[in-house]
Structure 1
Amino acid sequence: MKSVSRIFSHALDLTGWSISRRSVLTGALATALSGTLLGSAWAQDDRKTLRIVQSTALKVVDPIFQNAYPVRNHGYLVFDTLFGVDDKYRPQPQMVKDWSLSDDKLTYSFTLRPGLKFHDGTFVKSGDCVASIKRWGSRDTMGRILMDRVASMNVVDDSTFTIVLKEPYGMVLDSIAKPGTYVPFIMPKRLADTPADQQVTEVVGSGPFRFVAGEFQPGVRAVYEKFADYIPRSEPPVWTSGGKVARVDRIEWIGMPDSQTAANALMNGEVDFVEMPPLDMLDILEQTQGVVVKDVMHVGYNNAVYPNWLNPPFNNQKIRQALLLSLNQKDVLAAQVGNEKYYSECKAMFVCGSPYATDVGAPAGPDIEKAKQLLKEGGYKGEKVVILQASDIAMHGAVSPVVAQALRNIGMNVEVQPMDIQTLFTRRGNQAPIAENGWSIYNGYWQSVDILNPITNVGVSGRGKNGGWFGWAEDEQLVSLRQDFIKETDETKRKQIVEKIQKRAYDLVTYVPAGMFNVPYAYRDNVKGLLSGPGPVFWNVSKD
């Protein structure tokens, strides 16, 4: 995989798959796609309709309720943010016109750009922003850290609001400009007042595209139309900042049964863009007339394997350490990605090539005999290990069998339970015992921008059931070290704290890093203006 260090040179100033795939687009499926998915789109001006396939079909439409990347990508189409970030990860005003900080560094004042409207025709007001920040802050890790330091948020008038801190905190703008999940999107107060663990009843944003609720078929198709009243900024678009100009009238997000089918649809000209084409088809795609394969995003993904600390056997530290020593990153990446051009081993919990990259605490490599010994010392009694597998997304699902085999190799009793990704997202929240539909391990991957530091990397939070990530790793020392990192302003000392955090996290095995990979986009050659960002963004995109 290409080095990602170049994307961090100006980074955050923190002052052969096991899943079967179709080799052809069958006649029956092609007919179905044409009739139920693409039919209405063909009736549109083809140059004004963009047909996209993302990593999975859209089923959940509230990006604060669920933090999956497809839901975030949907959010960027519909919603806007107070601040965005540029390609050096610096916060830049987006919905905000002006802002100021008091001399005592406790009061931030924000004034909105005039004329901003929601898709329901109402004007965006400061009360909407305050309510949206509160909802996001109750859900997001970085948001919770911010809200812990907020004394009050006050509506001054329709266009101005303040955030008053209990003590100076230098990450306020970085927090509300956060490009990774959960993103602090702004929605009307009437919706933002919905508890964050409940989905909103409508999708109403103020972004460049509006969600067409009447055409939404969960898991099949989502439709967006250009919002005529959107007022883009005058600056050029960079990452999530600058002018978000909608250059197509309509976007259709089409669900596909697998990435192979999506690639065939792209080659046939039935869709315009595929976010995650199958890596073993890239050579074919590159040789297909009319198709472009390009690494637009640049940031890469980081695999993570999460043991459940609540259930035996992984409520035992020695058995978690056995998991760590059983797994070979090369095996994971070879099964998941295959092409060495697009992956690399990485032991750093805060992204290889980043300012906080370190191998401190990481084992030299897998050690099967030591893993077996740890299993014995931990008193493993043959308890069933249930691994959740997302069978509908190859990049997810290919990892689970590798983890299962690694554990079987050291003598563990393993059951892999396949399910679609949306079911997995629900199931992973179950804290019950195995006998009550609980689980032992699940795997996922993070974009690099989401785990660059101990604030955003939820795998080292140590908060357990009190706001911790799925798997619920709990450790007061990690909580304390994280607070030390937040308060520290000296960068050298911050790096020392990062090393302590990573060493502790590896010793406890809060999670297992399992390598880095990247996936280029594939799209028709008449698609122009795709931008780099935290994921696919479709403002500035046009079709010739």
Structure 2
Amino acid sequence: MTSAAAIAIGLSAYSVPAWADNTLDVAIIGEADTLDPMLSTKDVVSIVTQHFVETLYTFDANWNVAPLLAVDLPEISDDGRTYRIALRQGITFHDGSSMDSADVVASLQRWTEMASRGKAVADRIEAIEAVDANTVEIRMTEPYSPLLSLLAFSNSAAAIYPEEVLGEALSAIVGTGPYKIIEHVPDQYLQLGRFEGYQARDEEPNGPAGGRLQLADEIRFIPVPDPNTRVEGLLSGQYDFADGLPAESYARIAESEAAEPVLLRPFGWPIFAINHKDGLLTDLNVRKALQAALPHDDMMFAAFGDDNFFIVDAPMYPEGWTWRNDAGTELYNQNDQARAAELLDAAGYEGTPLRILTSRQYEFHFKMAEVAKMALEAAGFAVQMDVVDWATLGQRRNDPALWDIYITHSPFLPEPALTSLYSATSRLGWAEPDKEATLAAFTTATDQAEREALFADLQKAVFEDVGFIKIGGFNALQGQRAGMTGVNPSPWPYFWNAKAE
């Protein structure tokens, strides 16, 4: 089969019926395996759900916390333990019911029980209570500096739902956002339409903060797992926006009259997430062998091909960020298979396969895994590559019996505590005692200089205990229809202010 024929088949497989003229068609990397953003840290879930489910706070264009369903930033007691939050009045859910403090309290309590980020902070929360119909109070057992950032994040989100739909599983997906779900055909499309009862904020749009304007009548999110199909659909005019595009498509998009590239620089970091709960990598020497063997330069070049799109860089944050430091970085990019073999001998390794769970929907994940496999085998590891679709990866990584490493990535986030990998309650289960003490001190401290010093200690622990492995830093490529306006470059692109010419 010719590549052109394959692309044609790929495009037709993801074609959807035409509806309103003022519709934005957005190609995403795959099916969102849940429409409840509390239950997932996957970017694709955040991208779609932020249009119909909202939080008390969000971030503005400069990553400052800003109010969304809250009236303003909270009143915080002098001891830093009590947050009093006034709620906007007149907010209506998609089912026609009005939002009040009972809905918010019940939603936040579910967040502490069900969401990975909520569970990570649950033991710091003394109570979540309604003061009156329009005011909520959160009392902490001790100061907790990342709380507002956690409440603002659309990923493992502290989403607000009507109290009546709450349970371990929601009885319905009912939010307050500018769009509501019209129809969902899994693996084909998620169709959203304007919510006529939406109450936008009065402020000017400022990143995700401020007014969320319903410029499009409908938004359709179309799962397109093949990255080349996403590129071709963008260039042909089938899609108004496409996420997660391969670096090598940049020139074609830039030269096209139909589309234009959207480059996120810097975007984030690829991660080898390590299983500390079960299997081979519960042994520190095996983890150190893994760390010693990996050739980061080769992995990043294989993943991105063009050094305009990547940097081999050890610290957890890039140049210019307040959190950047060099603690522990001498252990990065060793590319020393002989040293890895010595560490495997010390561990008494007997050839049990190292299971790497990855997906081709993010092609750079797979390419990194291929290079890693060769280097690890050279060091003496037996390697088992489990290549699945992204939705299946999201399910399997919840069971520690099924993987040793899963490959993921994260944008650089303004608050390190938003990165759930540091927490013992994450899927990784990294619970080393000294790291736990450092993390507790980091999240309790309120002085910025003290927090920066503690984060350096936390980064050192990542390298010395091999909590997880940052492979490098990278820029990300998206694409949009030529002349499209209102889509700010973001790891989680949003389309309430977007208009396609």
1:509 and 2:473 correspond: no
Worse-superposed segment, 343-352 or 74-83: 343-352
Worse-superposed segment, 81-90 or 337-346: 81-90
Q: Which whole-Å CA distance do the structure 2 matches of 1:360 and 1:275 have between them?
A: 34
Q: Which whole-Å CA distance do the structure 1 matches of 2:476 and 2:380 have between them?
A: 34
SS of equivalent residue, structure 2 residue 185: coil
Once the two structures are TM-superposed, the CA of residue 205 in structure 1 deviates from its matched residue by: 0.6
Q: Which whole-Å CA distance do the structure 2 matches of 1:168 and 1:460 have between them?
A: 19
Once the two structures are TM-superposed, the CA of residue 174 in structure 1 deviates from its matched residue by: 2.8
> 1:170-209 to 2 correspondence within 5 Å?
170-179=145-154, 181-191=155-165, 193-195=166-168, 199-209=169-179
Report the equivalent of 2:385: 416
Would the alpha carbon gap of residues 386 and 32 (structure 1) be closer, same or farther in structure 2, given more than 3 Å must change? Answer: closer
Once the two structures are TM-superposed, the CA of residue 301 in structure 1 deviates from its matched residue by: 1.8
Given residue 113 of structure 1, which amino acid in structure 2 is its aligned partner? R
Q: Which whole-Å CA distance do the structure 2 matches of 1:178 and 1:163 have between them?
A: 17
Report the equivalent of 2:420: 458
Report the equivalent of 1:476: 433
1:109 and 2:76 correspond: no
Does the aligned pair in 1 maintain the 2:56–2:152 contact within 8 Å? yes
Q: Which whole-Å CA distance do the structure 1 matches of 2:257 and 2:226 have between them?
A: 22
Would the alpha carbon gap of residues 88 and 335 (structure 1) be closer, same or farther in structure 2, given more than 3 Å must change? Answer: same
RMSD: 2.3
SS of equivalent residue, structure 1 residue 479: helix
Once the two structures are TM-superposed, the CA of residue 259 in structure 1 deviates from its matched residue by: 1.1
Q: Which whole-Å CA distance do the structure 1 matches of 2:245 and 2:2 have between them?
A: 12
Would the alpha carbon gap of residues 120 and 155 (structure 1) be closer, same or farther in structure 2, given more than 3 Å must change? Answer: same
Q: Which whole-Å CA distance do the structure 1 matches of 2:386 and 2:488 have between them?
A: 37
1:443 and 2:407 correspond: yes
Report the equivalent of 1:264: 232
SS of equivalent residue, structure 1 residue 341: coil
1:327 and 2:294 correspond: yes
Aligned pair partner of 1:123 in 78, 89, 98: 98
1:59 and 2:57 correspond: no
Q: Which whole-Å CA distance do the structure 2 matches of 1:124 and 1:22 have between them?
A: 52
Does the aligned pair in 1 maintain the 2:29–2:223 contact within 8 Å? no
**TM-score, normalised on structure 2?**
0.93
Given residue 458 of structure 1, which amino acid in structure 2 is its aligned partner? S
Does the aligned pair in 2 maintain the 1:488–1:494 contact within 8 Å? yes
CA deviation profile, 1:52-71 (whole Å, cap 9, x unmatched): 01222333211112221111
Report the equivalent of 2:351: 382
Q: Which whole-Å CA distance do the structure 2 matches of 1:431 and 1:169 have between them?
A: 29
Q: Which whole-Å CA distance do the structure 2 matches of 1:385 and 1:137 have between them?
A: 33
Report the equivalent of 1:495: 452
Q: Which whole-Å CA distance do the structure 2 matches of 1:428 and 1:321 have between them?
A: 22
Would the alpha carbon gap of residues 541 and 163 (structure 1) be closer, same or farther in structure 2, given more than 3 Å must change? Answer: same
Q: Which whole-Å CA distance do the structure 2 matches of 1:359 and 1:394 have between them?
A: 30
1:273 and 2:241 correspond: yes
Which consecutive unaligned segments of at least 5 residues does structure 2 have? none
Given residue 186 of structure 2, which amino acid in structure 1 is its aligned partner? P
Given residue 71 of structure 1, which amino acid in structure 2 is its aligned partner? V
Worse-superposed segment, 266-275 or 388-397: 388-397
Would the alpha carbon gap of residues 23 and 163 (structure 1) be closer, same or farther in structure 2, given more than 3 Å must change? Answer: same
Q: Which whole-Å CA distance do the structure 2 matches of 1:146 and 1:308 have between them?
A: 21
Once the two structures are TM-superposed, the CA of residue 426 in structure 1 deviates from its matched residue by: 1.0
Report the equivalent of 1:15: none
Q: Which whole-Å CA distance do the structure 1 matches of 2:256 and 2:336 have between them?
A: 44
Report the equivalent of 1:154: 129
CA deviation profile, 1:417-470 (whole Å, cap 9, x unmatched): 1111111111112123xxxxx2222111011117x42x2233333x2xxx2x33
CA deviation profile, 1:19-77 (whole Å, cap 9, x unmatched): x99556544444444xxx33233xx21xx100001222333211112221111111211
> 1:16-415 to 2 correspondence within 5 Å?
26-33=7-14, 37-41=15-19, 44-45=20-21, 48-98=22-72, 99-103=74-78, 105-140=80-115, 142-144=117-119, 146-179=121-154, 181-191=155-165, 193-195=166-168, 199-212=169-182, 215-295=183-263, 297-362=264-329, 363=331, 365-415=334-384
1:531 and 2:493 correspond: no
CA deviation profile, 1:137-195 (whole Å, cap 9, x unmatched): 2344553454333322222333222223334444443332235x21222111123x313
> 1:429-440 to 2 correspondence within 5 Å?
429-432=398-401, 438-440=402-404
CA deviation profile, 1:375-399 (whole Å, cap 9, x unmatched): 1112111111121121333133222
Once the two structures are TM-superposed, the CA of residue 227 in structure 1 deviates from its matched residue by: 0.9
SS of equivalent residue, structure 1 residue 129: helix
Once the two structures are TM-superposed, the CA of residue 530 in structure 1 deviates from its matched residue by: 0.8
SS of equivalent residue, structure 1 residue 205: coil
Does the aligned pair in 2 maintain the 1:326–1:367 contact within 8 Å? yes
Once the two structures are TM-superposed, the CA of residue 415 in structure 1 deviates from its matched residue by: 1.4
Q: Which whole-Å CA distance do the structure 1 matches of 2:62 and 2:2 have between them?
A: 38
CA deviation profile, 1:400-427 (whole Å, cap 9, x unmatched): 2122112111111111111111111111
Does the aligned pair in 2 maintain the 1:21–1:260 contact within 8 Å? no
State the identity as a percent: 25
Given residue 201 of structure 1, which amino acid in structure 2 is its aligned partner? S
Would the alpha carbon gap of residues 401 and 26 (structure 1) be closer, same or farther in structure 2, given more than 3 Å must change? Answer: closer
Which consecutive unaligned segments of at least 5 residues does structure 1 have? 1-19, 433-437
Once the two structures are TM-superposed, the CA of residue 534 in structure 1 deviates from its matched residue by: 4.3
